[in-house]
Amino acid sequence: MDSSTTAVPVMMNSSSSSSSIDEVFNCGKYSANLNLVKVDSSDPPRPLLIWSPAAAGEFPVVIFLHGYLLQNSFYTQLLRHISSHGFVVVAPQLYSVAGPNANQDISATAEIIEWLSENLCNYLPENVRPNLKKLVLAGHSRGGKVAFALALGKSLSSPIKFSALIGVDPVDGMDKGQQTPPAVLTYAPNSMDLNGAPVLVIGSGLGDVRKNPFFPPCAPRGVNHKDFYNECCKPAHYFVAKDCGHLDVLDDETRGFRGRATYCLCKNGESRKPMRRFVGGVVVAFLRAYLEGDEESLVAIRRGYAKLPVVLQAVDSRV
């Protein structure tokens, strides 16, 4: 990683079209429909939230995995943002209560993907077709770890076929040497063999900072975004949002006991909106580049002439 990229300034290039580059940070041209799919004898292994564009067409599919002990509904604003740019987004609720072992999360997600291959069309608006040949694995926090584990084929009898991988502030445990099973990180640089699939890793600048003396940081050094990116092979992209917290990707308001806890456990930024908009925008830019061949917005973010909702602490790419 290029350590000289810390505290990256935001600059505009007058030769670039700001409106077309920066629109990824706002909701897209599609209205996004939400379908809540509950579990019964004929339905998926876990409850699902399915976001889809409200327009006829064929769209890539993003599987988004929630963070530890969080609700998939806490990501509504982020997932709506991504879907509005032309993506079907499927967010399972993997568990209500879970211990440190993530093997069941991996197995459950693999079962969900298998179920989607036969059934997803039945839960989408008429004339909306999912393109499962463009399947994206994505997740936040522990969900990011699970997405990487799926991509690497851990705990699976056969690997998941996917087109791109996204880790939003992924976390592999409490500390180096205290990884939760199955351990994903090996601490060997550029060692993750993903058969050439592109990877996006997004980090939070405050994720490794304690909120208070009673709780550890939510994304500790040694098992966080930096370590995941260090092991990625090219093509891979890395962005860290300065002054933003681990849970700042969530909705502006998260309710219930777990929702209230999200304000207390992790060091947060002043507002969730900037980080959430940045994550939504850079995910869309990344997927456009690698699934649609439109690199304009991703290149602008990498080179510092996009108008971003956050200040970047670090930027790096291997292409």
Of 105, 163, 246, 317, the catalytic one is: 246
Tell which residue, 298, 147, 301, has the closest CA to residue 225: 147
- Rounded to the nearest 10°, the torsion over CA 145, 150, 151, 155 is 110
Q: Is 169 a catalytic residue?
A: yes
Q: Is 81 a catalytic residue?
A: no
H-run or E-run covering 88: strand 88-92
Q: From CA 61, how far away is CA 53, in angstroms rounded?
A: 11
Of 141, 163, 297, 317, the catalytic one is: 141
Q: From CA 170, how far away is CA 178, in angstroms rounded?
A: 15
Q: From CA 286, how far away is CA 182, in angstroms rounded?
A: 28
Of 81, 83, 84, 169, the catalytic one is: 169
Whether the CB-CB separation of 308 and 200 falls below 8 Å is answered with no
Residue 84: how many CB atoms within 10 A of its CB? 21
CA atoms within 13 A on the CB side of 53: 24
Whether the CB-CB separation of 225 and 167 falls below 8 Å is answered with yes
Q: Is 246 a catalytic residue?
A: yes
The catalytic site residues sit at 141, 169, 246
